Structure 1
Amino acid sequence: MPGGDTAKREIVEHPGAVAVVALDSEGFVTLIHQYRHALGRHLWELPAGLLDAEGESPVDGARRELGEEVGLSAQWWSTLVDVAASPGFTDEVVRVYLAQGLSTVERDHQGEEEADLEIHRFPLSDAVSMVFSGEIVNSSAVGGLLAAREVVEGRASARPADAPWRDRPTRFAARGLR
């Protein structure tokens, strides 16, 4: 600590996660409406999931989650943002991808967490308005949608899908806790 003092900290270790702004050729994004017990209500979110498959690259995890949660596949992938959920107590960082050139694939339901998941499409501008109205509060969705708008409107550039990920969580996986 500053001044040479020490402090005790508890850190929640996380395997890392990915989220996807799936943007179709008409400018619509696919969002899910899913119950989140920590907040006691359904939240609007991006398709997303944990990086918990051994040896799977982050972009491959994003491809898997996009197919499992919303039945989509994408031709083109790029990195929008990395979002540290709450770095005061967890090392969780979510990499948010932009997926374009979408096509439909068979959706693979993964269990009870996705049992009541609803899938909706919104114009990107409407999704951004939902961020500012407080309807979308999930941090990776907020960051990803705002970044996607900046990229689509030419004010920012996305990074390659395999861009270096400095803050990707590694401690949890290194201890063999999958």
Structure 2
Amino acid sequence: MSLPGEHEFRTVDSREVYSGAIVALRVDRVAMPGGREADREIVEHHGAVAVAVLDDDERLVLIRQYRHALGRRLWELPAGLLDEPGEAPLVAARRELAEETGLAADRWSLLVDVALSPGFTDESVRVFLAEGLRDVGRPAAHDEEADLEIARVPLADAVVMALRGEIVNATAVSGILALAAARSGGVVLRPTEAPWPDRPEMFSRRKRNRTGTGRT
């Protein structure tokens, strides 16, 4: 028997249960310590990017968007899926910032990477910091994004909103608290192209393979 922390959790079998527009579900049979095997349900996801947008007055640009899973509007950071094949995370972040807020930024840093719920999904989000803002105009929006509310909130107030439970989106809470901690501690942030070992790949690969075989 291996020592604690040394066991190899091999996947001995895997089957697809469902594949939709933004997620897929698979069931893996995994080798456990002591010779057991157990099923693990995994929700595959494209992954996403988000942007902590900070203006010259140290105010965060927040959006309030309807989220059907919770049945209400949430305060969030501008964000979007990494669902364009081969698109770099920073390119996606610039695109989402313009689409959701009509803003562009001259200075970008990597703030934090967040694995949303690794007990059952590979969804991970890369959160950038954007500064040096300028207006570029927001394009026409559709569906939930046509109802976006946009506000600028002092960073200190955003921290209080998170701690009071007024901001509950995991990416937003992580990004806001990380930014506040970096500001107060003088932390040097990583470059935008730093390695991202947990970027999800399986769902995108599955969709490419399906397209390549002519299946829909």
Identify whether the pair has TM-score above 0.5, normalized to the shorter chain. Answer: yes
CA distance in 2, matches of 1:11, 1:50: 18
Q: Determine the structure 2 residue equivalent to 1:54.
A: 85
Deviation of 1:11 after TM superposition, in Å, equals 0.9
**Cα separation, 2, equivalents of 1:134 and 1:57:** 32
1:10 offset after TM fit, Å? 1.6
Which residue of structure 2 lines up, in the alignment, with residue 38 of structure 1?
Answer: 69
| Equivalent residue, structure 1, for 2:129 | 98
Q: CA deviation at 1:88?
A: 1.1
User: How far did 1:158 drift?
Assistant: 1.3
The unaligned stretches of length 5 or more in structure 2 are 1-31, 212-216
**5 Å matches for 1:1-178?**
1-176=32-207
Q: TM (normalized to structure 1)?
A: 0.96
Q: Residue type matched to 2:52 in 1?
A: V
Return the index of the structure with the highest Cα Rg.
Answer: 2
Runs (4+) off by over 6 Å: none
Could you list the per-position Cα deviations for residues 93-127 of structure 1 after superposition, in whole angstroms to 9, with x for gaps in the alignment?
00000001111111123420202110000000000
Equivalent residue letter for 2:157 = D
Residues 139-163 of structure 1, C-alpha deviations (whole Å, 9 max, x = no match): 1100100111122223422110111
1:56 Cα offset (Å) = 1.2
What CA distance in whole angstroms lies between the structure 2 residues aligned with 1:68 and 1:154?
A: 32
Instruction: Name the SS for the 2:91 alignment partner.
Output: helix
Matched residue type, 1:170:
E
TM-score by length of 2: 0.79
User: With CA pairs under 8 Å and 6+ residues apart, which has the higher RCO, 1 or 2?
Assistant: 1
Structure 1: stretches of 5+ with no match in the other structure: none
Greater fraction strand: 2
Mapped partners of 1:130, 1:70: distance in 2:
21
**Number of aligned residue pairs:** 178
Letter in 1 for 2:59: F
